[in-house]
Amino acid sequence: MKLPRLLAIAGLALLVSGAMLTAAAIAGATVQIALVAAGACAIAAGIWRSGRDWRQALGGRAVRRGADALLGVVLLTAVLVVVQAISIRHAVQVDLTRNRRHTLSPQTLSLLSTLDRDVTATAFVRQTSLSRAGVEELLDLYARRAPRFRYHIVDPDREPDLAERLHAGPDEIVLEAGERRSLARNAGEESVTTALVQVTRTELKAVYFVTGHGEKDINSPDRDGFSALRIDLERQGYAPRPLPLPGGAPVPSDAAAVVVAGPRYDYLPDEVDALSAYARRGGSLLVMIDPRTDLPRLSVLLADYALSVLDAVVLDEKELRAGNRTFDATVVKVRQYEQHPITRGFNYITMYPRTRPVFIAQDSLYAGIAAHYLGVSDETSWGEIDMNSFRTGSASRDGADLAGPLPISAVATRSPIGSADFKKSRVVLIGDSDFANNVFWGVIGNSDFFLNTIAFLAEDEAMITIRPRGALRDQIYLSERDGRLVFLLCIVLLPALCLGTGVAVIARRARL
């Protein structure tokens, strides 16, 4: 190969190396300047040494081929620009991540599709923050789905007065709708959607939890408490409140739903009358009755809706044979759900640590009642009716037990017939209350099933869906040295190898 060509190739290689080191910032300024200067000098020397007649060279066949190639590149670039312009207006996005981290959850999409007011999101993220791009990507997903959702990103260091006025700190997002304002403490979808629910609700719907008979405490952080449930209810735009019924006091008129969460003792007649009167006014009840609990007065109220609980404990033979040490045979997994608005799109397993089967009476006396089962246990389950063997841990499946699969939950809607004093009411019966305690609240689909049930009872259909979940953290941690090695391998060596291969091919063709 002639010297001028060698000088030109060496100069080009020096220029590329200098540009790469500059972009990676892994070499000093002196080294970068020296490489660029050496490359420029080498190219200039090659041109000077060539001594060719440039006018003659420009008319040669090689130049014409180069011009054709350049024209092809220009045309290809034009096509790509047009495609990019079209894609901006008509974007199609496919999310192939394992947990669909770049796709909004069904609940968020449902809320955005019914957004009836302008919502402005102000994200306070520093210009140098690594999370800034992720915040913009998330809020852009919201804005694409709802034209009335707008956002802008603010650097709190550059606009401290705005951050102070909105009481927001770094990496926090403020959502505003008219006079209402809510704060998302982080840039996750769950937090942003929770804030969106809060600013778009005209009023918080009250959900009352009956107290005084050993029910679960919504303020208790203990294993058996409902504090986690209470926090998530508040995030969904509800106002959970305790409800004592001394002397049969009436249920407050603002109750969107009333929850009876695992009472240990039966209610007094006047208390049952208060709950029944609330239901007749068009109220909604969620009743959870644990196994080995006898509540005859409350059972009378449920009988008005063709619902009852059976005196048995559901066990799972599959778990018993497997010897599962995490969840024993008393923990029933429900994988099968009947068609109903509560279970629409629901594809998660729910787990009940100790449950009893429920039953729907099929009788012509129950006119105006539409009852449906919700969750059903596996075929390997059975209903143990021998409580003595259950208490001693020696229960086994035999001919006297209830054969599975067994319904764990049911819903009944009662419509008034021939009476102006009654209004349409709803009752959901679940054979266990422990599935929603602080221990089991975060287990797979338990929280979604409970919140869907509350949304149905509160006639809040838009909230019946799958809720946002945290992203799976598939991360790789590299040291500074590992990062430099990856850069040199992927950005320097591999391109240099391709460049060298191309130069070798050109040189060989020139010798032929």
User: 156: domain CATH number?
Assistant: 3.40.30.10
Whether the predicted model's global pTM rises above the 0.75 cut = no
Domains held by the chain: number: 2
**What is each CA distance from 505 to 61, 67, 483, 491, 494, in whole angstroms?**
19, 20, 32, 22, 17
Please indicate, yes or no, if residue 408 is contained in any of the structural domains. Answer: yes
462-485 residue pLDDT tens: 666 655 555 444 456 566 777 788
Q: How high does pLDDT run on average in the chain?
A: 81
Q: Measured between alpha carbons, how far is 431 from 509 in angstroms, rounded to an integer?
A: 82
CA neighbor of 332 nearest in space, from 341, 346, 319: 319
* 417 and 451 share one domain: yes
User: For the chain, how are helix, strand and coil distributed in percent, rounded to 5?
Assistant: 40, 20, 40
- Does residue 154 belong to any structural domain of this protein? yes
User: How far is the C-alpha of 22 from the C-alpha of 29, rounded, in Å?
Assistant: 8
Asked if residue 403 lies in contact with residue 391, where contact means CB atoms within 8 angstroms, the answer is no
Strand partners, 361: none
Quick: pLDDT tens for 78-135. Answer: 787 777 667 666 656 666 555 556 678 777 888 888 888 899 999 999 988 888 888 9
Q: What is the pLDDT of residues 45-72, one digit of tens each?
A: 766 666 554 445 555 566 566 667 667 7
**Would residue 222 count as lying in a domain?**
yes
The answer to whether residue 11 sits within a structural domain is no
CATH assignment at residue 297? 3.40.50.880
CA distances, 55 to each of 63, 143, 214 (Å): 11, 58, 100
Residues 244 and 342 in one domain: yes
Q: Of 183, 193, 202, 232, give the one whose Cα is nearest residue 112.
A: 193
- 169 and 309 inside one domain: no
Residue 347 confidence (pLDDT): 81
Give 379's contacts (C-beta < 8 A, 6+ positions apart): 404, 405
Q: Does residue 222 carry a pLDDT above 50?
A: yes
Mean pLDDT of 399-421: 82
| Helix and strand numbers, DSSP H then E, in the chain | 16, 19
- Indicate whether 280 and 264 sit together in one domain: yes
Q: Which of 197, 213, 234 is the last residue of a domain?
A: 197
156 and 219 fall within a common domain: no
Decide if 503 is inside a domain: no
Both 449 and 358 in a single domain?
Answer: yes
Q: Does pLDDT of 27 surpass 60?
A: no
| 350 and 263 in a common domain | yes
Tokens of 342: 């509560």
pLDDT at position 387 is 76
The reply to whether 509 falls in a domain is no
Mean pLDDT, residues 145-155: 92
- Would the pLDDT of 215 be above 70? yes
Nearest-5° Cα angle at 452, 405 to 299? 60
Q: Is 4 inside any structural domain?
A: no
Last residue of a domain, one of 146, 172, 197: 197
| Helix 132-145 × helix 106-113 angle, to 10° | 50
Amino acid (1-letter code) at residue 159: E
- Domain containing 263 equals 203-463
Which tens digit of pLDDT belongs to each residue from 297-346? 999 999 999 999 999 999 887 765 554 443 466 788 999 899 898 988 78
Does 2 fall in a domain? no
157's enclosing H/E stretch is none
Residue 234 has what pLDDT?
86
